[in-house]
Structure 1
């Protein structure tokens, strides 16, 4: 069973997760203060404040980062090079491979591509490649 751990402020990541779950049946857990991960999985978050990792995500990662096979981030292409940059920062700081970036709540193409990446690169396995051509 694939587990997704996510942070959502405006609802974009929540909508993305809802669509992924509807298609796959995977299990999703919304992160919260003092949460402990009991099943390793994949982290999905958002980028805030012109390219920062959300504070709740950052706090969560300080103790739980070793439980993730990959990181994915939403963003807004209007921010140019800062689009989805939270995933880049998390990948670098915590040595977690970046899987994907999507805009706002993602398109169906984004959702299908994310599912394909998780199934084929990271599905219940050890961490995959640090760099993906499509991320």
Structure 2
């Protein structure tokens, strides 16, 4: 399962690095990158005007169609705003929020996110096999 992520302060990047998973980092200078296959998007919680690169990335080629879920990072002290960016994207594109973590995630968060990714990979693999048979 492919992963794309966006990081503003570095917390999301640190989380992804701790997972050891290969991931594409969306950047402000050139957000136009086609994932070309199903993927999970990992985003921090920030104001919409700080997420322009993510919006551009999602609008590029087949990225919206290939999005299977969104994971969000945030700070629980912000109550209802905790992972609001992930929730907004998921709601708008009708995909699930598949995981959430605080700051750069705990060791347990890392393990659990890896499991989520593995589950999506397994589902995708079964889906492909069912279309082949």
User: TM above 0.5, one fold?
Assistant: yes
Match of 1:96 in 2: 95
1:125 deviation in Å?
3.4
1:58 deviation in Å?
1.8
1:124 deviation in Å?
5.3
1:107 deviation in Å?
0.5
In 2, Cα distance between equivalents of 1:19 and 1:109 = 11
1:61 deviation in Å?
1.4
Q: Relative to 1, partners in 2 of residues 1:95 and 1:61: Cα closer, same or farther, differing over 3 Å? A: same
2:33 aligned to 30, 35, 38, which one? Answer: 35
Q: Which has the higher helix share?
A: 2
In 2, Cα distance between equivalents of 1:124 and 1:12 = 28
Match of 1:110 in 2: 109
Match of 1:44 in 2: 42
Q: Name the TM-score, length of structure 1 as normaliser.
A: 0.79
In structure 2, stretches of 5+ residues that fail to align are 125-133
| Root-mean-square deviation over aligned CA pairs | 1.9
Which aligned segments of 4 or more residues in structure 1 are displaced greater than 3 angstroms?
none
1:59 deviation in Å?
1.9
Matched, 1:69 2:64: no
Whichever of the two has the greater Rg, that structure is 2
**Residue 6 of structure 2 contacts residue 54 of structure 2 at CA under 8 Å; is this kept in 1?**
yes
Q: Name the TM-score, length of structure 2 as normaliser.
A: 0.80
Listed as ranges, the matches of 1:2-21 within 5 Å are: 2-21=1-20
**Residue 2 of structure 2 contacts residue 35 of structure 2 at CA under 8 Å; is this kept in 1?**
no
1:90-133 alpha-carbon deviations (Å, 9 max, x no partner): 1110112110111110111111111112222x11535xxxxxxx
In structure 1, stretches of 5+ residues that fail to align are 127-135
